[in-house]
Amino acid sequence: MDYSNIIEKIRKSIGIVYMVKDNDILSKGSGFIFFKKGVLITCNHVIENPDSNISVQFPDDQKLIQAKVMIRDEEHDLALLKFDDNTREPLEIANNDIIREGIPVIFAGYPLGLVNLTTHQGILSAILTDATGVTTYSIDGTVNFGNSGCPLMSEDGKVIGVVNAKRMEHSDLLNKMGKQKIGVISLHGIDLVQLFQAIINNVQLGIGYAIPCTYIPKPHDVTQDKKEEEK
């Protein structure tokens, strides 16, 4: 299928989320405008460093825009950011009736340090529910480090979830290595823990995960706007 028209439509609403300290970029992820102009959705782990400032950037503008946290949902690893730009349209939400295992999906973000919007396609391979009742979407598609916070969409570019590249099924050995402190082991000046953690972050088995839209917390002003419309 040709997605060129869909990508052209959504690209201005999907941005890079940077964590910046002393003019240095410490980390980055993806995010997209949702609910209303000036509100960006991303994953909470993308912005969890408390000593850094948050900036967002869009593919048609090199300017960094400062952003502030509106809401954090640590349980579902989601966050809402507020930024000052009312020129970009929010992405549309998909109808729940279309969401079922096996449907084709696309997701667009900024994986592996790229600064150009990159779109992948796949299928919604499974709808998972854990012991606590929390639902997660499993994606048969190439999700990479940096995709966290980007939109999971139906073929027509409507949002069904938020991609989470950090949620990966690791072995016990990889989990133990991921928890080691940097600086513990080095060889010829190379920090081996940092090297192993970089490898772990970029392990890609062709399976990705996303949090359904139903878990995205609504900002209070959006809830109020909806009530006003219903009057």
Could you tell me where the beta strands, DSSP code E, fall in the chain? 14-21, 24-33, 39-42, 53-58, 61-73, 78-83, 104-109, 118-129, 135-140, 151-154, 159-163, 186-187, 190-191, 207-212
> Each residue of 109-152: pLDDT tens digit?
999 889 999 999 999 999 999 888 999 999 998 888 899 999 99
**161, 129 in Cβ contact below 8 A?**
no
106 phi and psi, to 5 degrees?
Answer: -130, 155
Higher-scoring residue by pLDDT: 83, 51: 83
| Whole-structure pTM value | 0.82
> Each residue of 30-67: pLDDT tens digit?
999 999 999 999 999 999 887 889 999 999 998 999 99
Say whether 148 is catalytic.
Answer: yes
- Which band of pLDDT confidence, cut at 50, 70 and 90, is reported for residue 228? very low
pLDDT at 74: 93
How is residue 132 annotated by DSSP? T
pLDDT at 200: 57
pLDDT at 83: 96
Say whether 220 is catalytic.
Answer: no
Please tell me which residue in 13, 30, 148, 154 is annotated as part of the active site. 148
Asked if pLDDT for residue 227 goes beyond 60, the answer is: no
Question: How many other β-carbons are positioned within 10 Å of the β-carbon of residue 227?
Answer: 9
Please tell me which residue in 13, 30, 77, 138 is annotated as part of the active site. 77
pLDDT at 170: 45
The radius of gyration of the chain from alpha carbons, rounded to an integer in Å, stands at 18
**45, 26 in Cβ contact below 8 A?**
no
Please tell me which residue in 30, 45, 120, 154 is annotated as part of the active site. 45
| Percent of the chain surpassing pLDDT 90 | 62
Say whether 186 is catalytic.
Answer: no
Cα(169)–Cα(162) distance, integer angstroms: 18
Which three-class secondary structure state does DSSP give residue 211?
Answer: strand
